């Protein structure tokens, strides 16, 4: 039987992953000061795939799964997120808004399976929506309508990737991510040449500092390869109900790191918006777990 409480070592590992994923938004912002957004995304997935693809067998999944996952996560999620974060939304708010992927994932599940929206999900969605509306009323230049819209599209891409992953059911999630990353690179390079432009792409790549290279590798190796491998390793040893709620800390760390390292302000309106969105996410994640623990088992 799987453990239900984390050992001290495993708890520390989980918090390390959350810290990497949370501080990731600060790293993105710093790198975007030197690289065009789509060029940055292409490099991220290039180094997530190479040389790691040489050490992993091709996952046995449906032929469409890896291209679909690569496009949805590479172009849909991170391509849009990087464009938004360059100048249209602050890192802290981006880390919060992108978590709406949970609700888009529910919506896709309903669309594909005919599942109905449950009461707690409706309440959770209402809380998160109220938080986003409050955010847009007060954000000003910290989150323009374009920036918020692009991050919501990124959240949709993430939700689509989640849906593809669940349908594909890869035995080795890390191998699936590595091979899928190959399919993200060509479209990202093409889009970078079209929208970033060859002069900006050439200037960005040929003048990368050690810090910019470190940011790219932090994205590729730390965020993607280590993050997915370690998270999957924990999920293989504990119930999802023990591990998944920890992801609620990602936007908390994202906003705190942005405030500490980039000087992003934390006024009352932002804390209220974050509280509403996080309350919705927490209700959506924790309510089913609480009901499962408090509902008496049905006698056989």
Cβ atoms of 151 and 83 closer than 8 Å: no
Contact predicate 53/95, CB 8 Å:
no
SS3 7: coil
Task: List C-alpha distances in Å: 288 to 99, 178, 245, 292.
Answer: 18, 32, 11, 6
- pLDDT grade, residue 3 (50/70/90)? low
Q: Are 196 and 39 in contact (CB under 8 A)?
A: yes
Does the pLDDT at position 4 exceed 70?
no
Q: Is the dihedral of CA 79, 20, 220, 238 positive or negative?
A: negative
Instruction: Work out the pLDDT band at 1, boundaries 50, 70, 90.
Output: very low
Task: Render the burial of 29-61: b for 16+ CB within 10 Å, e for the rest.
Answer: bbbbebbbbbbbbbbbbbbbbeebeeeeeebeb
CA distances from 160 to 7, 76, 102, 285 (A): 33, 9, 11, 19
What is the maximum span of the chain, computed from C-alpha positions, in angstroms? Answer: 69
Delimit the domains of the chain by residue range: 8-293
State phi, psi for 117 to the nearest 5 degrees.
-70, 125
Please tell me the distance from the alpha carbon of residue 260 to that of residue 91, in angstroms, as a whole number.
12
List pLDDT tens digits, range 16-30: 999 999 999 999 999
Three-class SS state of 300: coil
Contact 76, 161 (CB under 8 A): yes
pTM, entire model: 0.91
Compute the distance between CA of residue 146 and CA of residue 56 in angstroms, rounded to an integer. Answer: 39
What one-character DSSP code corresponds to residue 142?
G
- Beta pairing partners, 288: none
First-to-last alpha carbon distance for the chain, in angstroms, is 20
Peptide bond into 232 cis (omega under 30): no
42-95: pLDDT as tens digits: 999 999 999 999 999 999 999 999 999 999 999 999 999 999 999 999 999 999
- Both tokens assigned to 72: 């949805």
Place of tokens 């999900």: 121
Convert the pLDDT of each residue in 231-285 to its tens digit: 888 877 887 667 778 888 999 999 999 999 999 999 999 999 999 999 999 998 8
């Amino acid at each position: 039987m799987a453990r239900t409480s984390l050992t001290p070592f495993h708890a520390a590992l989980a918090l390390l992953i959350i810290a990497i994923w949370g501080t990731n938004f600060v790293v993105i912002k710093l790198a975007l000061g030197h690289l065009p957004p789509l060029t940055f995304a292409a490099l991220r997935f290039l180094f997530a795939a190479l040389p790691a693809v040489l050490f992993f067998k091709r996952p046995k999944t449906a032929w469409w799964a890896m291209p679909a996952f690569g496009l949805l996560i590479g172009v849909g999620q991170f391509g849009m997120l990087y464009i938004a974060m360059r100048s249209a939304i602050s890192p802290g708010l981006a880390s919060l808004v992108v978590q709406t992927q949970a609700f888009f994932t529910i919506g896709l599940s309903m669309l594909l399976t005919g599942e109905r929206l449950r009461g707690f999900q409706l309440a959770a969605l209402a809380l998160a929506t109220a938080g986003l509306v409050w955010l847009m009323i007060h954000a000003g230049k910290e989150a323009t309508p374009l920036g918020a819209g692009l991050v919501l599209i990124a959240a949709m891409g993430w939700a689509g990737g989640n849906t593809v992953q669940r349908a594909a059911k890869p035995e080795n999630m890390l191998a699936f991510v590595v091979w899928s990353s190959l399919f993200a690179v060509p479209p990202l390079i093409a889009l970078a040449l079209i929208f970033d432009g060859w002069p900006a792409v050439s200037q960005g790549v040929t003048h990368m500092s050690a810090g910019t290279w470190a940011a790219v590798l932090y994205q590729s190796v730390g965020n993607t390869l280590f993050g997915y491998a370690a998270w999957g390793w924990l999920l293989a040893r504990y119930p999802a109900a023990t591990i998944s709620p920890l992801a609620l800390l990602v936007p908390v760390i994202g906003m705190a790191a942005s405030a500490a390292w980039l000087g992003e302000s934390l006024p009352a309106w932002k804390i209220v918006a974050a509280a509403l969105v996080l309350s919705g996410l927490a209700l959506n994640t924790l309510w089913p777990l609480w009901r499962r623990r408090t509902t008496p088992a049905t006698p056989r």
